[in-house]
């Protein structure tokens, strides 16, 4: 087992940041899913009809399920991983965040080049997932192999 890396923020700090950002993600994705379940679209705070256009597109659902529901599941998994200081939690968080990041890149591409509309809530979710990918990658690189209690207590 290696000791925590002094070049990185403490694992405890990373865990708290991951939990906070993941909780924000749960909120954003839940709002999108609730708006869709009511037959509507998220309200674009900045104005415009981008959210409605994206919500009405065939890309907003996968296998009959709003893509925001997959986001909720991903954010909840990331939130759960933040409470554990083990290699399995570090690697699991990284894999979920990588998948979420990749899916967000794909959906952003679809918005820009296929739908020709931008939903600010979708952009917010993509930004949050990008941050989570970076935080989880940092956590995995900095603390893989570190003893759980030692890494969590450092900071």
Can you tell me whether residue 62 is helix, strand or coil? Answer: strand
Residue 139 contacts residue 4 (beta carbons within 8 Å): no
- Mean per-residue pLDDT over the chain, rounded: 90
Q: How far apart are CA 8 and CA 111, in angstroms?
A: 35
- Give the domain ranges of the chain: 11-37+48-144
Question: 11-37+48-144 adopts what CATH topology?
Answer: de novo design (two linked rop proteins) (1.20.1440)
At residue 75, the pLDDT reads 98
Look at residue 107 and tell me whether its pLDDT is greater than 60: yes
Look at residue 32 and tell me whether its pLDDT is greater than 60: yes
Q: Whole-prediction pTM value?
A: 0.89
154: which residues sit within 8 A by CB, 6+ positions away?
Answer: 4, 10, 11, 12
Q: How far apart are CA 24 and CA 47, in angstroms?
A: 22
H or E element in which residue 110 lies? helix 87-110
At residue 154, the pLDDT reads 46
Average pLDDT over residues 86-115: 97
Higher pLDDT, residue 147 or 127: 127
Q: How far apart are CA 83 and CA 64, in angstroms?
A: 32
At residue 71, the pLDDT reads 97
Can you tell me whether residue 45 is helix, strand or coil? Answer: coil
Q: Tell me the per-residue pLDDT of 47-92, one tens digit each, with 9 for 90 and over.
A: 888 999 999 999 999 999 999 999 999 999 999 999 999 999 999 9
Residue 86 phi, psi dihedral angles, 5° rounding: -145, 165
């Amino acid at each position: 087992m290696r000791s925590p890396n002094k070049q990185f923020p403490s694992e405890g700090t990373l865990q708290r940041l991951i939990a906070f950002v993941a909780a924000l993600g749960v909120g954003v994705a839940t709002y999108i899913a609730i708006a869709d379940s009511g037959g509507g679209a998220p309200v674009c705070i900045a104005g415009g009809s981008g959210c409605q256009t994206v919500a009405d597109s065939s890309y907003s659902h996968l296998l009959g399920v709003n893509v925001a529901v997959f986001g909720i599941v991903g954010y909840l998994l990331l939130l759960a991983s933040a409470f554990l200081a083990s290699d399995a939690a570090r690697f699991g968080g990284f894999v979920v965040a990588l998948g979420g990041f990749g899916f967000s890149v794909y959906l952003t591409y679809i918005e820009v080049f296929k739908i020709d509309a931008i939903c600010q809530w979708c952009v917010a979710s993509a930004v949050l997932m990008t941050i989570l990918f970076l935080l989880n990658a940092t956590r995995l690189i900095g603390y893989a192999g570190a003893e759980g209690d030692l890494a969590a207590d450092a900071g």
